[in-house]
């Protein structure tokens, strides 16, 4: 686990499964339809049950870089925030970074609008959407750090990145070390 204190919030990295997190909200790396997919999206719908998909059907999809919220269904998390990251090879490196940052920012905005104080993110776009982990990690982390710096009063106290596998965790840990002075490794 790595952890860093940022103004009013804590930013954490853990290796694990996002569906079992005890944060108030977990973020889903969804697709534009919000009607379910593979990877982390499939895992969240399987663990959270049919209520999440039923609510997603009423939302009219989600633009890339935007985020929408539903119940957490059977999950421990009260909410699932569905965001859509870029398909890396379709948009070019620069636009991909903008859209990935936007997906993180919008997810935190939606969380704050619902009074959520703790949020867990997966490594958005790094699976089927092809974003190289080493490139996605600093973009994702910087977007969250920027949001927390600028919105201290928004009420978010914990952001946890839940990385599947050692390699993903280490990519985020390396990126975090470069972005902040002294992350605590444990």
Q: In whole angstroms, what separates CA 127 from the centre of its chain? A: 13
Q: Which is nearer to ligand ADP, 154 or 160 (CB)?
A: 160
Contact 88/131 with Cβ under 8 angstroms? yes
Judging by beta carbons within 10 Å of its beta carbon (0-12, 13-18, 19+), is residue 7 exposed, middle or buried?
A: exposed
Closest CA to 21 of 166, 125, 183, 161: 161
Q: Which is nearer to ligand ADP, 85 or 183 (CB)?
A: 85
Distance in angstroms (rounded) separating the CA atoms of residues 164 and 144:
19
4/164 with CB nearer ligand ADP: 164
Whether residue 41 lies in the annotated active site: yes
Which residue(s) pair with 159 in the sheet?
Answer: 11, 119
Q: Which is nearer to ligand ADP, 26 or 154 (CB)?
A: 26
User: Cα-flanking dihedrals φ and ψ of residue 32, to 5°?
Assistant: -60, -25
Catalytic residue among 41, 66, 134, 149: 41
Minimal distance, residue 39 CB to ligand ADP, in Å: 2
Minimum distance of ligand ADP from residue 28's CB (angstroms): 9
List interacting residues with ligand ADP (CB under 6 A): 17-19, 29, 39-41, 43, 85, 122-129, 162, 164, 168
Strand partners for 3: 12, 184
Compute the least distance from the CB of residue 8 to ligand ADP, in Å: 26
Closest separation in Å from C-beta 143 to ligand ADP: 15
Residues annotated as part of the active site: 41
């Amino acid at each position: 686990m790595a952890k860093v204190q940022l103004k009013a919030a804590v930013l954490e990295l853990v290796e694990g499964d996002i569906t079992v997190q005890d944060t108030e909200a977990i973020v889903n790396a969804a697709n534009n339809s919000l009607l379910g997919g593979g990877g982390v999206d499939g895992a969240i719908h399987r663990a959270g049950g049919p209520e999440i998909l039923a609510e997603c059907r009423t939302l009219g999809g989600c633009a890339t870089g935007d985020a929408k919220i539903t119940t957490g269904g059977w999950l421990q998390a009260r909410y699932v925030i569905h965001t859509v990251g870029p398909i890396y090879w379709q948009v070019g490196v620069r636009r991909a970074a903008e859209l990935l940052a936007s997906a993180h920012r919008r997810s935190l905005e939606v969380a704050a609008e619902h009074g959520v104080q703790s949020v867990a993110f997966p490594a958005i776009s790094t699976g089927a959407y092809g974003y190289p982990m080493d490139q996605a990690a600093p973009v994702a982390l910087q977007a969250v750090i920027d949001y927390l710096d600028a919105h201290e009063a928004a009420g978010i106290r914990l952001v946890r990145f839940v990385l599947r596998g050692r390699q993903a965790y280490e990519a985020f840990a390396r990126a975090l070390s470069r972005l902040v002075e002294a992350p605590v490794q444990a």
